[in-house]
Amino acid sequence: MKVGILQYKPEFGEVEANLDRIGSLLSDIDTDIILLPELFATGYVFENGDELRYYAEPFPDGRTHKALKVLSEKIDSAIFGSFPEINGDNIYNTALFVRPDGKTRIYRKIHLFDREKLFFTPGNLPFEVFEFRGARVGMMICFDWIFPESYRTLALKGADIILHCSNLVLPFCQKATYAHAVSNRVFIAMANRIGTENRAGVECVFTGGSIMYSPTGDVLIEMGEDEENVRVAEISPSDARNKFATERNHVFSDRRTEFYELD
Ligand code: ACM
């Protein structure tokens, strides 16, 4: 299976131009799954709730979802990334996993970051794992990374590969991802964006460094801080099904849950 990451700089509010740009960056790509950053079509720093509402789209068949369905069919690859989803009074930061046949899974960001708490509603759907082309796939979004429970839940549900779309501003996740890959023995692919947004008196400098690790911590993809690019790695998803760290250590069944206090 070929998994790719697109790292780029969206222009805030230029949804059509950003979608066109993604379309041209991916026009001759050969992947099974391609990851885009979080909020890849709108940008990140919304001035207020009204502005977010203006850019939010319904699911299914909002503008961004429709564009990804067309692109996914054209390039015969699933596409993953997030958009602002309006659903009644709520606006979620929602990841789409769009398959070439148009079928789409969503995940709504559970752990909101900083100012997102002012405008977005926290996700109300569980972490889930599903099959795609022989791989068991899980989804998460940006700040979910700081909670090891996010990765652990997906891994315990059987994920071979965790797809992680991001707009990272803190410098920690790229390194932390290594620990989550090896402690769960899963593939993790993390797509970040680059560039700076300075709006409403808030400056966000996005840290790039998109990364993909194997279940044993090999770096399969690593991008620079300012690199605008698409990179692809070939994986055998079933490599993530061997949970033995040594002959006598299984990373799930060796857990001593009676000693953990997780509530
Ligand atoms: C983040 O959750 N966008 C840092």
Give the number of domains in the chain.
1
Quote the ligand 1 centre to 257 CA distance (angstroms): 30
Evaluate if residue 147 carries a pLDDT over 90: yes
List the domain range (segments joined by +) for residue 45: 2-259
Atom of ligand 1 nearest to the CA of 170: 4
What pLDDT was estimated at residue 263? Answer: 87
pTM: 0.98
DSSP summary character for residue 94: E
The question of whether 142 is a catalytic residue gets the answer yes
CA 179 to chain centre: 17
Of ligand 1's listed atoms, the one at least distance from the Cα of 169 is 4
Which residue's CA lies nearest to atom 3 of ligand 1? 167
Residue 191 clears pLDDT 90, i.e. is over it: yes
CA distance to 20, 76, 163, 258, per residue, from 70 (Å): 12, 10, 21, 49
* CATH for 247: 3.60.110.10
Q: Could you confirm whether 165 is annotated as catalytic?
A: no
> For the segment 192-201, what is each residue's pLDDT rounded down to a tens digit?
999 999 999 9
The closest of 70, 36, 72, 40 to 55, measured between CA atoms, is 40
Tell me 102's DSSP state: S
Q: Give dist(CA 37, CA 221) in Å, integer.
A: 15
